[in-house]
Amino acid sequence: MMTRREWMMGPAAAGAVRLAAAQPRNIVIASVNGERACAKAMEILQAGGDTLDAVVAGVAINEDDPEDTTVGYGGLPNEEGIVELDASVMHGPTRRAGAVAGLRGIRHPAQVARLVMERTDHVMLVGEGALRFAKAYGFQEENLLTEKARLAWLVWKQSLRDASGRNNWTDGLDAPPEKSPQALRQRFPHVDEATLAWAWQVATNPPTGTINCLALNAKGEMSGVTTTSGLAWKIPGRVGDSPIIGAGLFVDQDVGAAGATGRGEENIRVAGAHTIVEAMRAGMHPREACLECLKRIARNFNNDRSRLAAFDITFYALRKDGAYGSASLWRSRDKEGRPRPQRFAVNDGTGSRLEDCAWLLER
> Which parts of this chain interact with ligand GLY (CB under 6 A)?
208, 210, 228, 230-231, 240-242, 261-264
Sheet holding 222-228, edge to edge: 124-126, 96-104, 84-91, 222-228, 211-216, 27-31, 343-347, 352-356
Instruction: Look at residues 123, 85, 86, 79 and name the one whose alpha carbon lies nearest to residue 105.
Output: 85
Instruction: Look at residues 199, 92, 219 and name the one whose alpha carbon lies nearest to residue 154.
Output: 199
- For residues 121 and 354, give the distance between their C-alpha atoms in angstroms, rounded to a whole number: 38
Compute CA distances 282 → 43, 98, 274, 292, 296, whole Å: 32, 26, 12, 12, 16
210 in active site = yes
- For residues 274 and 18, give the distance between their C-alpha atoms in angstroms, rounded to a whole number: 21
Catalytic residue among 146, 170, 208, 210: 210
Give me the residues paired with residue 133 across strands.
none
- For residues 124 and 187, give the distance between their C-alpha atoms in angstroms, rounded to a whole number: 42
- Residue pair 156/233 in contact by the 8 Å Cβ criterion: yes
Residue nearest to ligand GLY (CB): 240
Q: How far is the CB of 265 from ligand GLY (least distance, A)?
A: 7
CA angle 10, 11, 12 (to 5 degrees): 95
| DSSP annotation of 137 | T
| DSSP annotation of 178 | -
- Please state whether beta strands 324-333 and 27-31 pair in parallel, antiparallel, or not at all (unpaired): unpaired
- For residues 230 and 208, give the distance between their C-alpha atoms in angstroms, rounded to a whole number: 6
Q: What is the CA radius of gyration of the chain?
A: 21
The secondary structure element, H or E, covering residue 318 is strand 313-319
* 3-state DSSP assignment of residue 337: coil
Q: Which residues are catalytic?
A: 210
